[in-house]
Structure 1
Amino acid sequence: MAEHKSVVEDPPAPLSMAGPYGGKVSGKPPKRNTYAIACTILASMTSILIGYDGGVMSGVGDYIQKDLHMSDVELEIINGMVNSMSLLGASMAGRTSDYVGRRYTIVIAGAIFSAGAFLMAFATNFAFLLFGRIVAGIGTGYAFMIAPVYTAEVAPASARGFLTSFPEVFINSGVLLAYISNYGFSKLPSHLGWRFMLGLGAIPSVVLAVGVLAMPESPRWLVMQGRLGEARKVLYRTSDSNQEAKERLADIKEAAGIPPERNDDVVQVVKKRSSGSGVWRELLHPTPAVRHILISAVGIQFFQQASGIDTIVLYSPRIFDKAGLKSKDKKLLATVAVGFSKTVCILISTFYLDRIGRRPILLASVGGMVLSLVALASVLEVVNQHPDGQMTWALVMCIAIVLCFVGSEIFPLRLRAQGAAIGVVVNRFTSDINSMTFITLYKAITMSSAFYLFASVAAASWVFFYLLLPETRGRTLEDMEVLFGSYHRWRSVAKKLENKRSEAPNANVPCSNNNISTAGPPEKGQETA
C-alpha cells in the first residue's frame, strides 16, 4: 500500500447526495472517467467483428451464389454456420479468459476471426467457404462474450450502463462498415468484389493487436490471480473516486475468498475459486434471485433474435427485391441506409440509457419493433397481391419501415463470465435458426407471413419484459438481491425498498428486509446495475 499513500482521499458527499461508492446520485452528474471510456472503446472494438461478419453476408450472397454455383439452401447454411460455431467460441472464451486474462482473450478473438476472413476471401468452392465460416464463427463467439465482460469489469459504477452498451454500438458500427464495404467493392468484377468484401474483415483484428497493448487487465481477473497491487492500480484509474475504488476492490476480494484485511500486493488464491466452477454451480443450482436474473437475461437474448433482427441484417437486399427494387447497386445502397439508421439509433439509446433507464428504453424499442414488423408485413402483402404492378410507394414505405425497425432494436443487458456464455448460447442458437431457415420459410408461407410471425414474437416479448424485468438503473447490489426473485411482484418490492430507504437515518446505507425476500445474493462485484 506504500505506493498509494500520496493519493488524496475524496471528501465524503452529503448523505442526501451520496451513491453506493461515495459518488453523487443527484444534482450535477459526475464527470466521465476518460481513461475507463478509452479502455472500453478499445475492448468494444472486438464487437466490430460480429457486426461486420453479419452485415457483409447480406451483400455477398448473390455474388457467391453465382460465382460458386451455390443453392439457396447452401447459402442459408453459410449464413447460419457462423452462429453455430460462435457457440463453440463462446464456450471456449469463458475458460480462456479465466486462464490468460480478458485482455489477451480479446487478441485471440481477433486472430481467429482474421484467419477465418482470409480463408473466406480465398474460397474456391462451397466446402472451402464453409470452413472459413466455421473459423470466423469461433472468433465471433469469443468476441461476443469477452467484450462486454471486460467492459463491465472495468467500468465505474456511475457509467456502467453507458459503457457496457459500447459493444452493441460497435456491433452496429461493424454492420454499417460491412454495408459500405459491400457497396464500394460491388464496383469491382463480381468474382473479385465479394472476396474483398469478406477479406476486409481481417483489418480490425490488426488494430486490436496494437491497441490492446495500451489496455490494463481486468481488475477482477487480477484479484482472482492474487495480484492485488496491480488490481488496486487499475481500480484507482477506472473509478470515479478513491472511495469507490476501495469498495470495488473489497467486493472483488470477497468474491475471491480473500480476507478483507489482506492488503499485500500479491496473495495466494485457491485456484478453483478462479476457475469458474463455483459460478457454474451457482447457475445450475440458483437462488430465487439468480434464477430470476437468468430468466430475464435469457428472455432478452431469445426475443432479440426471435423477432427477426438478423434476417433483416442478412437478407435486406432480398426484402427490397420483393418490394420492387431490382438494381443490385440500389439494393446495396439501401442497406447502407439501414446500417446508418441502426448505428445512429443505438448511439442515441446508449447516451440516454443512464438518464432514462433500461426498462423504458427496452419497452419503447420493442413496441416500435412490433409496429414496424406489422407494417412491413402489410406492405409486402400488398405487393404480393399485385406482382405485376409498379408500386413505388410500397418500395419507399418498405425501406422506411426497415429503417424504423432496425432503429428500434437495442440490446441493453449483458451478463459476465460463465453467465454471459449462457446468454450467448441462447442468442446464437436462435439467430442460427432464423438465418438458416428464412429463405425456406418465406418461400413456404410468403415473406409477409414470415414478418407477421416475427411481429407476434415481438409482441410476446413486450409482455414478457413488462411483467418480469425490473428497472435496474441506480440500484445497489442489495437492491438487486430483493428485486430479482420477486418476479412479477417486483414493483411492490421496489416501493418497499424506497420506503425503507426514506425511513432509514442514513440514506447511504442499503436496506434489507427479511419480509421482502430471502433470496441469496448474486455474485459479488456487480455493485450497481
Structure 2
Amino acid sequence: MASKSPLTNQENVHVVPEKYDAEHTENILQDKTLIQEARLATEAEHNMTFLQAIKTYRKAVFWSVLVSMSIVMEGYDTTLIGSFFAYPSFRQKYGQYHGPEAGYQLSSQWQAGITDIGAVGNIIGALMNGYFTHKYGHRKVMMVALASMTGFLFITFFAPNIEVLLIGAFLCSIPWGVYATMGPAYAAEVCPLSLRGYLTAYVNLCWVIGQLLSAAVLRGLVNNQTQWGYRIPFAIQWIWPIPLFIGAWLCPDSPWWLVRANRLEDAERSLQRLTQKDANLDHKSAIALMVRTTEIEKEAECGTSYWDCFKGTNLRRTEIACVCFLGQVSNGGYFAYSPTYFFEQAGVSPTSAYGIALGGTGLAFIGTCCSWFIMSKFGRRDIFIVGFSILICCLLLIGILACVQQTKAIKWVQSVLCLIWLGSYSASVGPIIFTIVAEIGATQLRTKTVVLGRSTYYVGNIIGGVLEPYMMNPTKWNWKGKTAFFWAVTSFLTTLWAFFRLPETKDRTYEELDIMFLGKIPARKFFQEKLDGNEVNTSI
C-alpha cells in the first residue's frame, strides 16, 4: 500500500495572512485554509460562463490579444522571404543572370540557405525566450525582442548583396521565434478557464492575418520593377514594433509568473489589473490556487530548466507538445496548403492561380474564426482526431485521383480538395494545436514546453521543406499528386498517436491537470476523471 502523500496531510493548520511573503509558503501543501481557498477558486473557474468571463476579464483579453499580435509579424515576415524568390525586382538585385530565357534567378542553394537559416534563428529565439522569460517575465523579453527586431530590419532593408541579406534574415528570425512562443504562453496564463481556448487559438488567427497582409502587399507590388518593389514590404515591418513595444511596457506581468517568482503581492496587483474592479472577484482565492498548483509541482520535483521538461511526468507533457506541433508538418501542409500547383496544371494562369491561393488564405481566416464555435462544443482531443481524419480523407482522394488518367477536370477536383483540406485544417487542427500546447505544460515549465514544441515544428519544417520539392519536382522523384499518399501516411500515424497519447485538457484547471499527470491517468480517461483536489499521487 502506498504511503500517505504529504499533499493529503492536513494536520498542520496554517492561516493565510493578508500579506504574502516567502516564509508563508514553506508548508503550503498542509495549509487547510489555503487548500479551501484554492478549492473555491477552482469552483469559480468551472462555474464562470463565457459571457461572465468576458465581462470580468475584458482587460486580460485586451492584453492577451495585444501580445499575440506580435505573431502577425512572424506570419508576415516568414511568408515574405519565401515569396521574394519569385519577385523580378528582388531576383534582379540579389540573383545572377542566366541568359535571356531564365533571366535573373536566385540559386537553389541560396534559396535553401535563406529558408533554413531562418528556421535556425527561430529555434534560437524560441530557446532564448524559454530561458529569459523564466528569469525576467514576458514583458521584458517581449520589449527586448521588439527593440532588436527594429534594429535588425535595417540590415535586410539596406542589404547590398545576398550575403548581407542572409545575415539579416537570420538575425530577424531570432525575435520571430520569441513572438511565436510568447503569445500562447502569455494567453494561457492571464485568462480564465472559459476563455483560455479561444485566446490561445487566436494565435493561429494572428499567423493567418500576417500571411494575408504579406500576400496582399506582394500582390500590390509584384509589377513594380524598381528597388521599392521589395524594399517597401521590408519597410512595412517597422510599423509593428513601436506600438507593440508601448503595449508590452504597459501590460501587466503574468500573475502565474509572479507567483513562481514568489512575488505574491505583485501577483495580486497584476490580477487586479487584469480584471474589472466591479466584478467582485476573490483575488486571494485565485492567488491561492496559483500558489497551491505551483507547490504541487515543486513537491513532485518539477524544476524550471529545459532538462526538467524531460524528467518524470513532464516528459509525457513535452512529448504531447512536440508531437502536436510536429502535426502542423506531418498533416501535409507543405503539399495541400496552397493549391496553386493543381490550378496551374488545370490551365489556370499563374496570376489567377496566385489570386486563388490568396483567396485560400482568406478561407484559412474564416476557418480559424469558425474554430472558436467548434471548440465551445467539443473537446480538444476530439477536434484534433476528427480534424486529422478529415485531412487524411482529402489527401487520399487527391492521391487516388493522381493515379488515373489526368484531365483538366481531375486537376480542378484536386484543387478543390486542397481548399477543403485548408478549410478543415484552419477550423480544427491548426488553432487547436496552439491551445493544447499552451495548456499541456506544467505551470513552472509552460513557456519552455511551448518552446520545445515549437522548435520541433521548426525542425520538421526544415525536413518537410527539403522533401516536398524532391517529391513534386519533375526532374527528381516526380510523384506530383501522388505525393498526397506520403502525407496521408504521416497524418495517419499522427492520428494514431493522438488516439492513445493525447489527453483532453478542456475545462481543466492547471491544478487538475497536474494531479492527473502525477496520477498517470491514461489519455483516454482524462475527460471522465473526477477530482476533489485533495488527493495527489506524487510518484513519478
Place the TM-score, normalised by the shorter chain, in its bin.
0.7 to 0.9
Alpha-carbon distance in 2 for matches of 1:48, 1:55: 11
| Residue 481 of structure 1, CA deviation | 4.1
| Residue 215 of structure 1, CA deviation | 1.3
- Is 1:247 equivalent to 2:285 in the alignment? yes
Q: Please name the residue that 2:12 is paired with.
A: none
| Residue 310 of structure 1, CA deviation | 4.7
> What's the secondary structure of 1:216's corresponding residue?
coil
1:21–1:247 CA contact under 8 A, matched in 2: no
CA deviations 1:331-377 (Å, max 9, x no partner) are 33122112111111112113432432212221222122212223344
Q: Please name the residue that 2:450 is paired with.
A: 420
Which shifted more, 291-300 or 59-68? 59-68
Q: Please name the residue that 2:394 is paired with.
A: 372
| Residue 88 of structure 1, CA deviation | 0.6
CA deviations 1:300-347 (Å, max 9, x no partner) are 11222222325656x7645644454333x3233122112111111112
Question: Which amino acid in 1 is paired with 2:423?
Answer: G
Aligned counterpart in structure 2 of residue 109 of structure 1, from 145, 152, 155: 145
2:129–2:178 CA contact under 8 A, matched in 1: yes
Aligned counterpart in structure 2 of residue 326 of structure 1, from 349, 352, 367: 349
1:483–1:493 CA contact under 8 A, matched in 2: yes
Q: Please name the residue that 2:192 is paired with.
A: 156
CA deviations 1:161-220 (Å, max 9, x no partner) are 122222222111111111112211213227542333343233222331232233112223
Which shifted more, 459-468 or 99-108? 99-108
Alpha-carbon distance in 2 for matches of 1:303, 1:90: 18
Distance 1:56 1:321, change over 3 A: farther
| Residue 38 of structure 1, CA deviation | 0.3
Q: Please name the residue that 2:132 is paired with.
A: 96
1:358–1:473 CA contact under 8 A, matched in 2: yes
Aligned counterpart in structure 2 of residue 406 of structure 1, from 397, 419, 422: 422
Alpha-carbon distance in 2 for matches of 1:117, 1:86: 15
| Residue 61 of structure 1, CA deviation | 2.2
2:50–2:194 CA contact under 8 A, matched in 1: no
1:79–1:436 CA contact under 8 A, matched in 2: no
TM-score, scaled to structure 2: 0.77
Q: Please name the residue that 1:212 is paired with.
A: 248
2:184–2:200 CA contact under 8 A, matched in 1: yes
Q: Count matched residues.
A: 470
Matches within 5 A, 1:109-148: 109-148=145-184
Q: Please name the residue that 1:430 is paired with.
A: 460
Alpha-carbon distance in 1 for matches of 2:380, 2:208: 19
| Residue 2 of structure 1, CA deviation | 8.3
5+ residue gaps, structure 2, are 1-16, 21-39, 96-104, 439-445
Q: Please name the residue that 1:185 is paired with.
A: 221
Which shifted more, 484-493 or 293-302? 484-493
Q: Please name the residue that 2:480 is paired with.
A: 447
Alpha-carbon distance in 2 for matches of 1:305, 1:279: 27
| Residue 141 of structure 1, CA deviation | 0.8
Alpha-carbon distance in 2 for matches of 1:28, 1:302: 31
| Residue 477 of structure 1, CA deviation | 4.2
Q: Please name the residue that 1:525 is paired with.
A: none
| Residue 29 of structure 1, CA deviation | 5.5
Distance 1:376 1:121, change over 3 A: farther
Q: Please name the residue that 1:278 is paired with.
A: 304
| Residue 429 of structure 1, CA deviation | 0.7
Matches within 5 A, 1:494-509: 494-495=527-528, 497-498=529-530, 509=532
Q: Please name the residue that 1:39 is paired with.
A: 63
| Residue 37 of structure 1, CA deviation | 0.7
| Residue 93 of structure 1, CA deviation | 1.1
Q: Please name the residue that 1:269 is paired with.
A: none
Q: Please name the residue that 2:28 is paired with.
A: none
Q: Please name the residue that 1:268 is paired with.
A: none
Q: Please name the residue that 1:463 is paired with.
A: 496
Question: Which amino acid in 2 is paired with 1:464?
Answer: W
> What's the secondary structure of 1:123's corresponding residue?
coil
Alpha-carbon distance in 2 for matches of 1:58, 1:380: 27
| Residue 456 of structure 1, CA deviation | 1.2
> What's the secondary structure of 2:195's corresponding residue?
helix
2:193–2:509 CA contact under 8 A, matched in 1: no
Alpha-carbon distance in 2 for matches of 1:142, 1:468: 28
CA deviations 1:265-290 (Å, max 9, x no partner) are xxxxxxx99xx963435323223xx3
Alpha-carbon distance in 2 for matches of 1:348, 1:115: 37
Question: Which amino acid in 2 is paired with 1:96?
Answer: F
Q: Please name the residue that 1:238 is paired with.
A: 274
Q: Please name the residue that 1:14 is paired with.
A: none
Q: CA RMSD in A?
A: 3.4
Alpha-carbon distance in 1 for matches of 2:534, 2:378: 24
Alpha-carbon distance in 1 for matches of 2:139, 2:370: 28
Q: Please name the residue that 1:295 is paired with.
A: 319
| Residue 422 of structure 1, CA deviation | 1.3
Distance 1:110 1:376, change over 3 A: farther
Q: Please name the residue that 2:11 is paired with.
A: none
Alpha-carbon distance in 2 for matches of 1:78, 1:318: 23
| Residue 519 of structure 1, CA deviation | 4.7
Question: Which amino acid in 2 is paired with 1:172?
Answer: V
Distance 1:482 1:93, change over 3 A: closer
- Is 1:55 equivalent to 2:79 in the alignment? yes
- Is 1:83 equivalent to 2:119 in the alignment? yes
Distance 1:109 1:297, change over 3 A: same
| Residue 451 of structure 1, CA deviation | 2.6
TM-score, scaled to structure 1: 0.78
> What's the secondary structure of 1:423's corresponding residue?
helix
| Residue 438 of structure 1, CA deviation | 2.6
CA deviations 1:455-493 (Å, max 9, x no partner) are 211111111112221222112445424644787944356
1:219–1:232 CA contact under 8 A, matched in 2: yes
| Residue 146 of structure 1, CA deviation | 1.4
Q: Taking every aligned residue pair, what percent have the same amino acid on both sides?
A: 21
| Residue 243 of structure 1, CA deviation | 5.4
Alpha-carbon distance in 2 for matches of 1:464, 1:225: 36
Aligned counterpart in structure 2 of residue 196 of structure 1, from 201, 210, 232: 232
CA deviations 1:433-461 (Å, max 9, x no partner) are 22244323322223323332112111111
Question: Which amino acid in 2 is paired with 1:247?
Answer: S
Which shifted more, 438-447 or 85-94? 438-447
Aligned counterpart in structure 2 of residue 397 of structure 1, from 413, 416, 433: 413
| Residue 19 of structure 1, CA deviation | 7.4
Alpha-carbon distance in 1 for matches of 2:203, 2:488: 26
> What's the secondary structure of 1:22's corresponding residue?
helix
Q: Please name the residue that 1:510 is paired with.
A: 533
1:121–1:195 CA contact under 8 A, matched in 2: yes
Distance 1:92 1:171, change over 3 A: same
CA deviations 1:491-528 (Å, max 9, x no partner) are 35654x34xx6xxxxxxx336486xxx655xxxxxxxx
